[in-house]
Amino acid sequence: DVKVTQSSRYLVKRTGEKVFLECVQDMDHENMFWYRQDPGLGLRLIYFSYDVKMKEKGDIPEGYSVSREKKERFSLILESASTNQTSMYLCASSLSMGLVAGELFFGEGSRLTVL
Amino acid sequence: GNSVTQMEGPVTLSEEAFLTINCTYTATGYPSLFWYVQYPGEGLQLLLKATKADDKGSNKGFEATYRKETTSFHLEKGSVQVSDSAVYFCALSDHIQGAQKLVFGQGTRLTINP
């Protein structure tokens, strides 16, 4: 059974703290993504990676960074958390299929509250 | 840039009612189109997809047809069940930086009452 696992379902952090969100996939997928989900805004892409040590900015990268040291693991880092980063964070992965968009497999999400 | 617009929710229906959730898109080129579903407390999962004009995606009684002339991909089901209560997201593919990413609509929350 394919699986994308996010390390924490719920986190509460304080403004200014450094936050790590971890994501691991067991499907040997090349592509990995971090989205945030907010009511009325849908999913917005923060960063993605199409290979180990490669990263590309998505639509809303400000205030975030990522790390991909191993193929199966993609971490999202909030260097100094702020209240406007309170959100649901979704990790996803997909196979590289050239010009064809592969199916995204999602984790269950990490709900982050910044106080 | 490429974008997706869904009908606003929430949508509330009775069991066995007919469902339509509208989705229109703006894109250059020929994207693939998707519907994802998010059940309560779970991550998103693919419901159906269509990769070219006039294709029909179908799954679990849901259908959507890729209409290039109206730039639409409306989701339909003939008879909904309580278990269909979820949030539905329309999405399109966008080729960028050597990879395919998905651009999502804002989501439509569907509640089915018994």
Over residues B4-26, the mean pLDDT reads: 94
Average pLDDT of the residues of chain B: 92
Q: Which residues contact A31 (CB under 8 A, 6 or more apart)?
A: A48, A49, A50, A93, A94, A95, A96, A102, B99, B100
Contacts of B99 in chain A (CB under 8 A): 31, 48, 50, 56, 96
Of the two residues A44 and B94, the one the predictor is more confident about is A44
Residues of A with CB under 8 A from a CB of B: 4, 31, 33, 35, 37, 40-45, 48, 50, 56, 58, 90, 92, 94, 96-97, 99-104, 106-109
- Give the CA distances from residue A9 to residues A112, B21, B52, in Å, rounded to whole numbers and listed in that order: 8, 29, 37
Instruction: Note which residues in 60-79 of chain B have CB less than 8 A from chain A.
Output: none
- Best CA proximity match to B53, nearest among B76, B30, B25: B30
A-chain residue closest to B100, CA distance: A101
DSSP chain B: --EEEE--S-EEEETT--EEE-EEEE-SS---EEEEEE-TTS-EEEEEEE-STT-EEEETTEEEE-BTTTTB--EEESS--GGG-EEEEEEEEEEETTEEEEEE---EEEEEE-
Whether A106 sits inside 8 A of B44 (CB atoms) is yes
Q: Is B49 on the interface with A (CB under 8 A)?
A: yes
- Residue of B32, B44, B97, B103 to mutate, interface with A, max A Cβ within 10 Å: B44
Residue type for position B67: R
Separation of alpha carbons A19 and A80, rounded Å: 7
Contact B31, B93 (CB under 8 A): yes
Q: Give percent of chain B above pLDDT 90.
A: 75
CA distance A109 to chain B (A): 6
With 0-12 / 13-18 / 19 or more C-beta atoms within 10 angstroms meaning exposed / middle / buried, residue B14 is exposed
Whether A90 sits inside 8 A of B99 (CB atoms) is no
Over residues A22-36, the mean pLDDT reads: 94
Whether B100 sits inside 8 A of A94 (CB atoms) is yes
Separation of alpha carbons B44 and B62, rounded Å: 16
Average pLDDT of the residues of chain A: 92
pLDDT at A101: 64
With 0-12 / 13-18 / 19 or more C-beta atoms within 10 angstroms meaning exposed / middle / buried, residue B13 is middle
Q: Torsion angle of alpha carbons B99, B95, A41, A78, nearest 10°?
A: 30
Confidence of residue A9 (pLDDT cuts 50, 70, 90): very high
- Residue of B47, B88, B100 to mutate, interface with A, max A Cβ within 10 Å: B100
Q: Is B32 on the interface with A (CB under 8 A)?
A: yes
Separation of alpha carbons B4 and B64, rounded Å: 15
pLDDT at B73: 97
Start-to-end CA span in chain A (Å): 37
- Best CA proximity match to B50, nearest among B30, B70, B69: B30
pLDDT at B30: 81
pLDDT digits (tens, 9 = 90+) for A55-110: 999 999 999 999 999 999 999 999 999 999 999 999 999 887 665 667 889 999 99
Confidence of residue B101 (pLDDT cuts 50, 70, 90): confident
Output DSSP code: residue A7. Answer: S
CA-only gyration radius of chain A, Å: 13
Closest partner residue to A99 (CB to CB) among B95, B104, B106 is B95
pLDDT digits (tens, 9 = 90+) for B40-95: 988 899 999 998 899 999 999 999 999 999 999 999 999 999 999 999 999 998 77
pLDDT at B96: 66
